[in-house]
Amino acid sequence: MSLFGLKFGKKKLKEEERLLKANNRDFNLTFEYANNSIKTSKYNFFTFLPLNLFEQFQRIANAYFLFLLILQLIPQISSLSWFTTVVPLVLVLAVSGVKDAIDDFNRHKSDNHVNNRLVQVLINGRLKDDKWMNIQVGDIIKLENNNFVTADLLLLSSSEPHSLTYIETAELDGETNLKVKQALTVTAELGDNLQKLTDFCGEVKCEAPNNKLDKFTGTLTIRGEKFALDNEKMLLRGCTIRNTEWCFGLVIYAGPDTKLMQNSGRTTFKRTSIDRLMNVLVLVIFAFLALMCFILAIGNGIWEYEKGYYFQVYLPWAEGVDSAPYSGFLMFWSYVIILNTVVPISLYVSVEIIRLGNSFYIDWDRKMYYPLNDTPAQARTTTLNEELGQIKYVFSDKTGTLTQNIMCFNKCSINGKSYGDAYDVVGQRTEITEHTEKVDFSYNPLADPKFVFYDHSLVEAMKLGDAATHQFFRLLSLCHTVMPEEKEEGNLVYQAQSPDEGALVTAARNFGFVFRARTPETITVVEMGETKVYELLAILDFNNVRKRMSVIVRSPEGDLTLYCKGADTILYELLDASCGALKEETTEHLNEFAGEGLRTLVVAYKTLQKDYFEEWHKRHHEASTALDGRDEKLSELYEEIEKDLMLLGATAIEDKLQDGVPQTIEILTKAHIKIWVLTGDKQETAENIGYSCNLLHDDMDVIVIEGNTSEDVLNELREARTKMKPDSFLDSDEINIKFENPSTKPRILPEEQANGVYGLVINGHSLAYALEGNLELELVRTACMCKAVICCRVTPLQKAQVVELVKKYKKAVTLAIGDGANDVSMIKTAHIGVGISGQEGMQAVLSSDFSFAQFRYLQRLLLVHGRWSYIRMCKFLSYFFYKNFAFTLVHFWYGFFSGFSAQTVYDQWFIALYNLVYTSLPVLGMSLFDQDVDDRWSLLFPHLYEPGQQNLYFNKVEFVKCMLHGIYSSLVLFFVPYGAMHDTIRSDGKAIADYQSFALMAQTCLLIVVSVQIGLDTAYWTAVNQFFIWGSLSVYFAIIFTMYSDGMYLIFTASFPFIGTARNTLSQPNVWLAIFLSIILCVLPVVGYRFLKAQLMPTVSDKVLRKIREAKKRPLPPMPKTRLRRTSTRRSGYAFSHQHGFGALITSGRNMRPKLPFATTGTFSPNSEKTRRK
């Protein structure tokens, strides 16, 4: 069984290199390459039963109960009927089996949906529709616009000029900006000629399948001539074809060999920390059980040898028993059966019911329902609820998870005046709401109807012909790399390489400067209704060092102008000295914009002299064609001409966060949850969003790791750790001592505290080095001391590796949240995976444990549902172990008074009904309805979440306390009734000290005591709790008076021997006095301990609950609704998603058709319905 369960028959050798021939299936099949079918399911119809049972019996308790069942079938040692074990065991196996079957059925459906998609395959000279799963390596397939890419393909040809193909890689790296791929010239000539494509017999030799999304190395051999292949010629599975009518590709990797599937990771069986703890505790209980049985067996052997041997006339030994040691051996197994209730199988049935019930609460929560796309929250698994209350690390995707990836032109500063705020009739600034009046752009027939702006004064300035305002929007309409499409007159759509640029050009369009068309040499703009054609003389392209771009244009009047936009920190150094006053005013506006979390950008221009430009242009041409040092020469020329710029103003773009993201992150941070953002986006984008959503703030010392070698990264990480905690390099440091000697055992890092507030930003290439064996410890130590971590440009597999790293070194529960296929491996790796539904693609949701539509619902999932589930499960386990220790250990003490004969204390019917009827509903009522505070207080006091992170409510220490409590209670419950019965007579002078009366009294004491105990444990009383507790006691008394009646004895003499015991015993006052004494002795120490502990050693939870009790006396504070505003340093938002070199592509004309300015079949508008849904 290989990745995703795909079977390849005999075991394959590891592939070192791949060789394939186009259109030659027979040749390619000899290498047994995987076909394009994927399989994520675990079972099929025939393997389900054996495999599922095998998995279930790997749970220690299930195997133990099977062993008990076998023991109960042996007559010599069986003291209880076999059905007391078989019925609950079958029920547990059936419930778990049905749940696993449903989960796997959904996986089958998902697999079938993908595998049965249709694609056009070239077979025998004709295009034929075939299913994805039938595609083989070496096939040539045709893809059309908006098609998903079927497999990893080598691009052969396309409908676009120079065989360019535009793809969207959102499912791979989270980016929605388009990327350009280009075929080799030799294959581009094939076009869409089916005969040429059929005759194509190229041979590809390339690297073996791997998970590196940004790397591909290979060669294509055609007629003896070799051509180099790289990643720019590959279309990867998971991408979507955009703005390309058709393209042909050669399948290189298929199915599980594709880079997307190589990054998807395995589906692992997730267990909660409480599950793992229960396995350990069950082993401890088994050892304790074996010890008790051994003691009783030894006691039986001694008693039979000393006493029983001489009483055989009255108490004959069982058939086959001929010695005291053999009798002791049989009694060992008899006591194993009797005392097995110390771990009853009903524990596991109850746990499944509690988890199921708490899962329904998530499904039914209206406050986690998103009405805009009719998406409720969904608990896709029912086994992980309580782990939601223990999360320490949240790993989040950015695009589509924190942000909507919609850029909106929000505000601007032009010539020292700020625009974008809304004002009332008296000129006072007002908060923008849905009722605020919007600017009416109906005067502009080419305006985008979905563009929204609220400041009417900017439109007035445009209409009045303000020169600076016109120049500002002229710059926005000319200085960019956007491509337009106008299929119908006036119906413009823009295809922007970055959403920022689309927003700026759309703003210019609405304010009257409409970018209409472009050729390699010209840009057509409609300026306030008048069409003007500007000659495009040069594009000074963007790169990460320059952080700006410029265009040089000649206006129809012959004026030469350089228009520039870029990061304020860069452009301010290039401004003319005369701009000093305007620079100060603009700086003030920039600070205000940045304080609102907007992405800022400065714009400037420069009028050029004709003679100077011609001379510069000649040098520019020489530099652009130079073979050596081209980039350096161009950079020098750009620096030379981009000087003495005249400042126009600044723009402020809002990268729209999902609703409530900053508030959610703030609340989660207060709950001591550390949030790491893992994104495929660039560093600037990720940092900016970090500030916008309150993950990073200006009081935080942000450390950037961007080394290009392993040594650089190590030095940067160590410098960061030296800054955060200098003592961590001392030989006496606890961690240094612990990790001094190499060990194969996993070692957990203790929590380290930094000497300040730090944030960490690390690049993808640096992260690749940091994840290597010798650096991973350095990375995790440094990163875990930070309040926030942002990893940029990471691949899907790196996301999973980061999560795995924290799981490996930290004793903490992790949660990963994302919305795309690039997040699947991270979601599968984390303890809890959350999928954001309602976005494009459902891969993340299908792989997740929980799903909902908005990131803001995470706070409710964790702080309300997770916390309640954790508290309920801990209370359930503590109480369950207590009541069963108290119940079972009475048998142990009774053994010393019954000749160790394995006689039960209680009536057999009481034993059968104790966990099933008498105590099951009260504990379920508490476990399904209990809450220490309601959901509102849970969100207002996030510190209440901390005990779950530290696992304070149920751990090994708490288990020992339950055990000691149970042992103490069992002593009281045995010896008080025993002492009360000893040599006692009834009020009428008759003896009461018989076995049946003692049994009834002991079981009545037990049941009342455990009922009082659950009353003490219940924090939130409902009618259901009251009904379950009082109802269970009522049912108990009703059953014993019925079963111990004369009528039942006459009908079923053998089954109901306790005739008249209830009415005889329970009518005696001294019996009730003994019951009351038992209750007092059992309950009083508990009440005293809890009171003193809360007063003398209050926990964090105790302190917060005290505050809440005080706050409840006052009116409830309103939930915060205001938008978070803060002061902030400026951060440029320019062209974060740009690819270097796109300007050169435009000026070359290689991406343009001869007639149409830009032929596309896809659309882009920053406010389009499609983009809104993202």
DSSP three-state, residue 282? helix
Q: Which residues, including other chains, have CB under 8 Å from residue 1158's CB and lie 6 or more apart?
A: 483, 484, 485, 495, 517, 518, 1152
C-alpha distances in angstroms, 923 versus 88, 381, 512, 815, 1027? 18, 23, 70, 29, 12
Closest to 673 in 3D by CA, of 429, 895, 858: 858
| 312, 323 contact by CB (below 8 A) | no
d(CA 7, CA 255): 12
Calculate the CA dihedral of residues 900, 901, 905, 909 and round it to 10 degrees: 150
Q: Which residues, including other chains, have CB under 8 Å from residue 104's CB and lie 6 or more apart?
A: 41, 42, 43, 48
| 3, 255 contact by CB (below 8 A) | no
Catalytic residue, from 397, 455, 500, 823: name it: 397
Calculate the CA dihedral of residues 255, 257, 258, 263 and round it to 10 degrees: 110
* The two three-digit tokens of residue 413, written as one number: 């500063």
Q: Which residues of 685-710 are buried (b: 16+ CB within 10 A; e: fewer)?
A: bbbbbbbbbbbbbeebebbbbebeee
Strand partners, 653: 409, 599
What is the β-pairing status of strands 403-414 and 391-396?
unpaired
| 590, 608 contact by CB (below 8 A) | no
Closest to 912 in 3D by CA, of 338, 84, 87: 84
* The two three-digit tokens of residue 41, written as one number: 């399911």
* The two three-digit tokens of residue 306, written as one number: 């000393």
d(CA 822, CA 797): 8
d(CA 104, CA 99): 9
Closest to 412 in 3D by CA, of 466, 448, 450: 466
- DSSP conformation letters of 225-237: EEEEE-GGGEE-T
- Give the other-Cβ count within 10 Å of 618's Cβ: 10
Within 1018-1099, residue ranges assigned H as helices are: 1023-1043, 1046-1051, 1061-1065, 1069-1096
d(CA 942, CA 945): 6
| 346, 881 contact by CB (below 8 A) | no
- Give the other-Cβ count within 10 Å of 924's Cβ: 17
Provide the 8-state DSSP code for 814: E
DSSP three-state, residue 922? helix
d(CA 6, CA 40): 8
d(CA 656, CA 779): 31
Within 339-434, residue ranges assigned H as helices are: 346-364
d(CA 306, CA 113): 75
For residue 849, the Cα-to-chain-centroid distance in whole angstroms is 8
| 344, 327 contact by CB (below 8 A) | no
Strand partners, 602: 566, 650
Tell me whether residue 103 is one of the annotated catalytic residues.
Answer: no
d(CA 932, CA 935): 10
Which residues are known to be catalytic? Answer: 397
